[in-house]
Chains A and B, each alone.
Chain A
Amino acid sequence: MLKRLRENKSAQGTLLVSPTLAWLIVLLIIPLILTTIISFGTRDADGGVIYGFSFHNYMRLIGISSDCDNGQATCFDPLYVNILRRSLSLAFWTTLIVISLAYPLAYFVARAHPKRRSTFLMLVLVPLWTNFVIRVYAWMMLLREQGVINGIIGWVAARFNVPFEPLQMLYTPGAVLVGMVYEFLPFMILPIFTSLEKIDNPLYEAAADLGANPFRTFLRVTLPLSMPGVVAGTILVFIPVMGTFIVSDILGGRQVILVGNLIQNQFLSARDPTFGSAASLILMIMTLIVTYFYTRKFGFGEEIVAV
């Protein structure tokens, strides 16, 4: 039996993937099918599901409302479209800012002396030792009206006798953006670092030797060779930012509602699992579309080698 397994490569493969496959079927595929079915149903008075085949949840999401003031059968209600748009643009800006912060840092760590490199990497990971939610709450302490930042500015203002009104930073889109950037920065630094570290020193020397100044070396050699890291980091940051609700919940309050918050609300407060399921699926489809076009342009972050 064991001997036969040793010779049968395809049986080995099946054996290796089956635990994960079973896990995924039970906890991803089946729930996904259920979510899809529920999303086409309607909600009953107690928050239960009446199964059926109705598109009305999706219509609501894209803004076609039957609850109109002017007596028309349908009218446009931008509430949910705005939430989707806000989520998309927040994820976009978060990713962009994270890349521009992470790249120079990853470059610095990758070019540092090997002895110091592991220390720097550890420092990058230190925030991850604390719980995600606690880290977001820490930002609340910094940003709120009586928080650390307002405190410092107020203290300085008082020293110079300048009148100072505490800044309203918490519960703004800016606060959510800051929190997102902070939370997801390490997930961008690590893959970029990995791909930068793989660039051997002679490649920089070869570029310089062939007449490229440091700027052109960066554009023509360093950047293209580190793109796999940027792509991998983008996928690791963009997808979770699209779906997360904790950061916007704590730092955005009722002011900044994202798809994640919408879904959470539908299941836990509004008790409309059918609408929540539809929103979940829309979120997934949106993420898939963006990722599809992105990876089609830049690849999946694998080595850039055409064979």
Chain B
Amino acid sequence: MTQTSEFAVELRDVVKTFQTPEGTTLNAVDHVDMKIKNGEFFSMLGSSGCGKTTSLRMMAGFEWPSEGEIYIESKAMGHTPPFQRPVNTVFQSYALFQHMTIYQNIAFGLEMEKAPVNEIKTRVGHILEMVQLTGMERRYPKQLSGGQQQRVALARALVKMPNVLLLDEPLGALDLKLRKEMQIELKAIQQKVGITFVYVTHDQQEALTMSDRIAVMSKGKVMQMGAPVEVYERPNSRFVADFIGESNFLNGTVREAEGEYAQVYVPALNAEVKGLNTGGVSVGQNAVVSVRPEKIRLSEEPALKMNCFRGQVTNTTYIGSDTHVYIELGGQKFKVWEQNKISSLDPKAYYTIGQNLCLNLFPENTLVLAES
């Protein structure tokens, strides 16, 4: 592989317009810019209809952009058909050839390259070993389990050693346990072969676990792009904070904004809340205060001089490792995840309904976002 550019895939102002059945047009992908680095595990994360799959299909060449241009290895793809692109795809439905054995399925792509028979044999054998399917060569896809079929789909695309591997929700059809195993395995394979992976998923946990960088997408647009820790700890909007993980939100007006911190007056609490000014808000602006449920500390008496608010427990759910505590505060239900650090059979150890508690919102764990 000769790498001429820092970027494996680049989307420049790409738009994909579809005709809806009602006769109107819809931008499934709406002016998207994306730069995917060589050797990166890059995920496109979003709910269905956010444009992630359409973006991937345009990279593969199954669809062509209505506007803008896609570059793969710095080459403008234009209307290059899929069979001439240096990328390969792992399909959500696996799309295995039912009339071919596992060996024939995997060898198919190499035969299309007109690779010598001996080389095909070696490479197929090698890749089967990597996905732990040695000995399955002569079986047919229908004779394999879902997880094994998934590995065949992966092997069939990987054996071609593409510069970029495109994966369209490849683990979507697997059960949870197998999914988690495959997540780890996929990541290990990616690191081993060093190929750029572009991964489409709607599962945020999956994206956070595996990716080097994530593009959070909604309605055809990229909302935020960054490392997992960035999108989780420093979401740039209420949408991202809400979509990835869970968050409590308070609406208000910025009263003070100095240096790293900002103070927001929240009418529902009739108080000011201090938090990190990650949204870059200024005085007088409307803002949203966002705090993750696991970052709130509960106490009988205030633990902080400010950012402490009293509320009543309305509900609790014991889920083993944590207790989910719901607290009524300023007419709003707050979610607080408390880790069960002590082992006790006494129900009182896990908070009780009606209990009056202090919610301590640490300013360094509280984010002030611009209202969108």
Chain A contacts with B in 194-245, Cβ cutoff 8 A: 200, 202-203, 205-213, 216, 220-221, 224-225
> Taking A206-B89, A305-B142, A307-B143 as contacts, is the C-beta distance between A212 and B83 under 8 angstroms?
yes
User: Across the A-B interface, how many residue pairs have beta carbons closer than 8 Å?
Assistant: 69
Contact of A203 among B82, B95, B140 (CB under 8 A): B95
Interface magnitude class on chain A:
20 to 34
| B141-168 at interface with A (beta carbon < 8 Å) | 142-143, 156-157, 160
The complex places the Cα of A157 from the Cα of B320 at a distance, in Å, of 94
A210, A211, A221, A304 — which one has the most chain B CB atoms within 10 A of its CB?
Answer: A210
B302 at the A interface (CB under 8 A): no
Chain B: minimal CB distance from A197 (Å): 15
Within 8 A of A (CB), among B31-72: 60-62
B contact residues around A202 at 8 Å (CB): 91, 93, 95
Tell yes or no: B135 within 8 A of A by CB.
no
A211 touches B109 (CB 8 A): yes
* Max chain A Cβ within 10 angstroms of own Cβ: one of B88, B97, B157: B97
Any B CB within 8 A of the CB of A306: yes
How many interface residues does chain B have, given as a range? Answer: 20 to 34
Contact status of A205 and B62, CB under 8 A, knowing A212-B112, A304-B98: yes
B143 partner residues in chain A, CB cutoff 8 A = 307
Per-residue interface assignment for chain B, residues 101 to 139, with 1 indicating a CB less than 8 Å from any chain A CB and 0 otherwise: 000000011001100000000000000000000000000
A200 near B93 (CB under 8 angstroms)? Answer: yes
Closest to B108 in A: A210
Interface centre among A208, A212, A304, A305 (most CB of B within 10 A): A208
Q: Complex Cα distance A208/B160, Å?
A: 13
A206 contact set on B, CB distance < 8 A: 89, 91, 95-97, 156
Shortest distance from the beta carbon of A204 to any chain B beta carbon, whole Å: 9
B81 on interface, CB distance cutoff 8 Å: yes
Q: How far is the CB of B51 from chain A (nearest CB, A)?
A: 18
The 5 closest A-B pairs by CB, nearest first: A211-B112, A210-B109, A202-B95, A206-B95, A208-B82
Q: A206-B96, A208-B62, A212-B112 are in contact. List 14 more A-B contacts (CB 8 A).
A: A202-B93, A203-B95, A205-B62, A205-B82, A209-B60, A209-B82, A209-B89, A209-B157, A210-B88, A210-B156, A210-B157, A305-B98, A305-B142, A307-B143
Binding site for B on A (CB under 8 A): 200, 202-203, 205-213, 216, 220-221, 224-225, 303-307
Binding site for A on B (CB under 8 A): 60-62, 81-83, 87-89, 91, 93, 95-99, 108-109, 112-113, 140, 142-143, 156-157, 160
- What are 15 of the A-B contact pairs (CB < 8 Å)? A200-B95, A202-B95, A203-B95, A205-B95, A206-B91, A206-B95, A206-B97, A208-B82, A209-B61, A209-B157, A212-B83, A216-B112, A221-B97, A225-B97, A225-B98
